[in-house]
Chain A
Amino acid sequence: MMNFNSFPAAPGMLLVSVVALNFSIGTTAYGQSAQAPASDPTNAGKAVFSKANCVGCHKWHGNGGGGYGGDALSLRKTELTRDQIIEIVGCGRPGTGMPFFMRGAYDEVKCHGMNRQDAGAQMPPEGGTFLRPKDIEAVADYVIAHIKGAGEPTYAECVTFFSSTSRVCDVYKTQAQKPDDAPASTGKGQ
């Protein structure tokens, strides 16, 4: 059973700590260190990560971060296990902005032991697309293999993710220079 008191009341905000979340999911085995690293050999998980718009809040690098619409969890710093990620992608996180992506969640299939009525105001939003169980497993494998525990995003990771001509990755080439080191007045001529 989930302990809903551990979730913030404000919808759309994801400021609850990872530790609190892990304690709140009592039915799932805890202890990610025992977990074997998964992989994403066919890029199926990466495709889901883009298609299901995980990037919309967690960003391409999975670090999430505070922002205009609240604060998406950092998947790089997460301690969630593969099974926990599968559960959260499928069922969402009640009381937060993390949507559910499993068709029939809270209706045909109870989530965290609840149906829609039980969840009430804590009901998470519905994802923009539904994912098949295979897709959910794939995206969890992708997060485990390529994002979780990965430290700060790198140029190599970025070009692997985008594999395109976009300049989205250029900034990671010069990551050493932080903007607060720049002089206050940089003059003209960009």
Chain B
Amino acid sequence: MERFSGHTTISTRARLLAVAVAAAGMTATLPASAADAVNQERLLNVEKEPGNWLHHHQNYSAHRFSTLKEINRDNVKNLKVAWTLHLGGIEGGGIWSHGGLEGTPIAENGFLYVTDGWGSVYKIDAHGGRGVLVWKMDPKTDRDWAGAVACCGVDNRGVALWGDLVISHTLDGRLLAINKETGQVAWQRTVADPDKGETITGAPLIVKNMAITGVAGAEYGIRGWLAATDLTTQKEVWRTYTIPGKGEPGSETWKDSNNAAASGGGSTWVTGTYDPATDTIIWGIGNPGPDWDSAYRPGDNLYTDSSLALDATTGKIKWYYQHTPNDPYDYDSVAENVLVDVPGPSGPQKLALEADRNGFAYAIDRTTGKFVWGLPFVKKVTWTKGLDPETGKPIEYDPNKAVQTYIASVTPSRTNMETDICPGNMGGKNWPPTAYNPDLKLWYIPVIESCNRIKVEVMTPDKLKPREFWTGGGPSQPFRITGSVTAIDVTTGKIAQKMETPFPNLGGMLATPDLVFTGQPSGEVMALDAKSLQKLWEFNTGGGVNAPPMTFTVDGKQYVAILVGLGGAWDKWFIDSTPELKKIQPGSMLYVFAL
């Protein structure tokens, strides 16, 4: 831990003194820590403290919707930078020349908790219209070890709060519990193993005294899982693999003789959601490996490319819905499932919404796992003619086929070794989160309007090596890629608006009663009208926006915060599709706006 005590203003001195006292071992006597303790009651009722942002996705349903409206459609044009703070973590490591910022800040009682790509956690005092660093916890991530098997950047998407702890992950596979007052590591536990190609980039989901951890690494031949750690005993409560073991239900969907399931992918690197009414965790599952040589792994490859519902207490699988069986495109279904309740023809519908990398947005009945509606949210889809209106499966899906070909002329395969796909393999939407306005029933998707080119490599078991890519080919970028914000009316399952942008949306969304906020990798942060998506305000940060905005209050005043620092997969793998972004410099900065 590093301490910063060089500030001498009257307004911060008392607070720094308190921190110093806490560090001296008197934490238990400080009334502040009891008042700030985060418990399940608070996590379930975040609407009672609208000035805070306690969950990674704002609430358990991943709405990323704030009821705060001091900043609104009428005055957002007056939004200005309130303060900024330079962070660190842009150093390279492994195959990466630099890190970036993809995190969502957590806000509680005037303090922000943010991370940089290497997993350093920063506690920032936002009182008094300025940001003062209280502490920084550097987990000393093993950069060469983890960075060499991070497919898609030096990334960390944020922390969670529990009790008097800040819960965070590191790229090299650890779960950390940090004392919220002092920034000292209370305890840590190894959850993922970079020796197997496993890394962690997502924020933890806290449910009933457990931290739920997802894993990345499908491009390196992992077998994906979700793991629950008891935050009192520090022990694992359950670990559920996203690829069934031999003889388990679903294992029959791996029909090969290569033991492909053992390295079959199914990552879980985007934080999921929780439905307390049924004690169900709903989590998006990534694609099968090897990515593009689907003939190596004939069968539907469950539970890859699925939305997976698990009993939160036991980790037992309740239901699944698979979007792209036997995926030959790298169309992860790793995205967050947004939980919404809308009026239906026969009573209220309890839906899970997911904007899939395959270019389709899905509404699933989250009680049964059955398909309700789906539609393309990108401008161009070439791999399928559409979804079956009953089942939601791609029309060309044939359950009797071991290797799906969909529209065979464009689908990567051993007989179509080089082909162009739309959306491109980064997907119509990648990890950047959607937002949902429950008043307007509008769901805002940060879209990558894309095509790219896939070259297939035929894989054989001897090519599978620890910590080496297991992709069965690779993409290239002969086409320009743009973006959009696309709003879907959840009551009709139709697109309500689309606001096109020159660059892909690599940051994600924030919704407020009459606005949505988002950014561009070319540097702009913007506010749009919630209904028309007309741009009402814009500020150029001078860096690349690669993280979602959020909002909070301090002493009754509303702020909008966003991390700025282009990193991630785009910079290394997809930059040729957006040549202007080559000019964007690595950076690491927190921007906070207010009226």
CA distance A15 to B475 in the complex (A): 12
Interface segment, B236-244, B357-365, B503-511? B236-244
User: Most chain-B Cβ atoms within 10 A of its Cβ — which of A56, A70, A168?
Assistant: A168
Interface membership of chain A positions 101-122, coded 1 if the CB is closer than 8 angstroms to chain B and 0 otherwise: 0000000000000000000000
Q: Does A75 contact B (CB under 8 A)?
A: no
Q: Is the CB of A65 within 8 A of B468?
A: yes
Contact in complex: A171, B467 (CB < 8 Å) = yes
Complex Cα–Cα for A2 and B221 (A): 38
Q: Which of B192, B193, B238, B474 has the most CB of A within 10 A?
A: B474
Report A-chain residues with C-beta under 8 Å of the C-beta of B236: 188-189
Out of A10, A171, A178, which one reaches B476, CB within 8 Å? A10
Give the bracket for the number of chain A residues in contact with chain B: 35 or more
**Residues from 175 to 230 in B contacting A, C-beta threshold 8 Å:** 190-196, 219, 221, 223, 227
Q: Which of A66, A170, A185, A187 contacts B472 (CB 8 A)?
A: A66
Closest to A14 in B: B474
Q: Closest CB-CB distance, B461 to chain A, in whole Å? A: 5
- Which residues B121-150 have CB closer than 8 A to chain A? 142-145, 148
Binary interface profile of B, 237-280, with partner A (CB < 8 Å = 1, else 0)? 01101000110100100000011011100000000000000000
Q: State whether B195 touches A166 (Cβ < 8 A).
A: no
Instruction: Tell me how many residue pairs across A and B have CB atoms closer than 8 Å.
Output: 128
User: Contact at A66–B191, with CB atoms within 8 Å?
Assistant: no
Q: State whether B238 touches A188 (Cβ < 8 A).
A: yes
Task: Give the nearest-CB partner of B197 in chain A.
Answer: A179
Tell me which of B172, B241, B248, B263 contacts A180 (CB under 8 A).
B263
CA distance A154 to B92 in the complex (A): 24
The answer on a CB contact under 8 Å between A15 and B455 is yes
Q: Mark B545-576, 1 if CB is under 8 A from A, else 0.
A: 00000000000000000000000010011001
CA distance A171 to B193 in the complex (A): 11
**Which of A53, A175, A180, A188 interacts with B461 by CB under 8 Å?**
A180
- CB neighbours (8 Å) of A185 from chain B are 241, 245-246, 248
The one of A68, A164, A170, A182 that contacts B474, using a Cβ cutoff of 8 Å: A68
Q: Decide if A182 touches B262 in the complex (CB within 8 Å).
A: yes
Are B152 and A68 closer than 8 Å at their CB atoms?
yes
Indicate if A77 sits at the interface (CB-CB under 8 A): no
CA distance A10 to B476 in the complex (A): 7
Closest chain A residue to B261 by CB distance? A184
A184 touches which of B152, B245, B467 (Cβ 8 Å)? B245
- Contact at B194–A167, with CB atoms within 8 Å? yes
Instruction: Check if A66 sits within 8 Å of B478, measured CB to CB.
Output: no
Q: Are A56 and B466 closer than 8 Å at their CB atoms?
A: no
**Considering the chains assembled together, what is the distance between the CA atoms of A182 and B461 in angstroms?**
13
Partner of B569, one of A60, A65, A68, A128: A68
Check A56/B469 contact, CB under 8 A, given A185-B241, A188-B239.
no
Known A12-B477, A53-B97, A57-B95; judge A69-B572 contact (CB<8 A): yes
Q: Is the CB of B453 within 8 A of A10?
A: yes
- Using a CB-CB cutoff of 8 Å, which residues 111-163 of chain A contact chain B? 128, 162
Which residues of B, 419-473, contact A by the 8 Å Cβ criterion?
453, 455, 457, 461, 464-469, 471-473
Q: How far is the CB of A153 from the nearest CB of chain B, in Å?
A: 9
Any A CB within 8 A of the CB of B71: no
Q: Which of B464-506 contact A (CB under 8 A)?
A: 464-469, 471-478
Contacts A166-B145, A168-B148 given; indicate if A69 touches B262 (C-beta within 8 A): no
- Report if B516 contacts A (CB, 8 A): no
B476 touches A11 (CB 8 A): yes
Q: Among the interface residues B248, B262, B263, B573, which one has the most CB atoms of the partner chain A within 10 A?
A: B262
Docked-complex contact A10 and B418, CB < 8 angstroms:
yes
Which of A10, A167, A184: most chain B Cβ within 10 A? A184
Q: Which residues of B contact A63 (CB under 8 A)?
A: 468
Please, which residues of chain A bring their CB within 8 A of the CB of B190?
Answer: 190
A13 touches B196 (CB 8 A): no
Number of B positions contacting A (CB below 8 A): 60
Q: Which of A10, A56, A128, A168 contacts B145 (CB 8 A)?
A: A168
- A190 to B173 Cα, complex, angstroms: 11
**A187–B195 CA distance with the chains assembled, in angstroms:** 17
Among A55, A60, A69, A183: residue with most chain B CB under 10 A: A69
Q: What chain A residues lie within 8 Å of B195 (beta carbons)?
A: 167, 170-171
Are A66 and B469 closer than 8 Å at their CB atoms? yes
Q: Which chain A residues lie closer than 8 Å to B219 at the CB level?
A: 67-68
Tell me if B371 is interfacial: C-beta within 8 Å of chain A. Answer: no
Contact A71 B457 (CB under 8 A): yes
| Contact, CB under 8 Å: B148 / A59 | yes
Residue of B nearest to A167 (CB): B145
Q: Is the CB–CB distance between B474 and A56 below 8 Å? A: no
Chain B residue nearest to A63 (CB atoms) is: B468
Contacts of A175 in B (CB 8 A): 466
Decide yes or no whether B96 CB sits under 8 A from chain A. Answer: yes
Given contacts A10-B455, A168-B148, contact A68 B573 (CB under 8 A): yes
Known: A10-B478, A66-B474. A190 touches B144 (CB 8 A): no
Residues of chain B within 8 A of A68, CB atoms compared: 151-152, 219, 469, 471, 474-475, 569, 572-573
11 contacts between A and B (CB under 8 A): A10-B478, A12-B475, A55-B94, A70-B476, A71-B457, A166-B144, A178-B464, A178-B465, A179-B466, A185-B246, A188-B239
List 18 other contacts, CB 8 Å, given A10-B453, A183-B262, A185-B245.
Answer: A11-B478, A12-B477, A13-B455, A55-B94, A60-B144, A65-B468, A66-B457, A67-B151, A68-B572, A68-B573, A69-B572, A71-B474, A166-B143, A166-B145, A168-B144, A185-B241, A185-B246, A190-B192
Chain B: residues with CB nearer than 8 A to chain A? Answer: 92, 94-97, 142-145, 148, 151-152, 172, 190-196, 219, 221, 223, 227, 236, 238-239, 241, 245-246, 248, 251, 258-259, 261-263, 418, 453, 455, 457, 461, 464-469, 471-478, 569, 572-573, 576
7 nearest A-B residue pairs (beta carbon): A185-B245, A67-B469, A166-B144, A12-B476, A168-B144, A70-B474, A10-B476
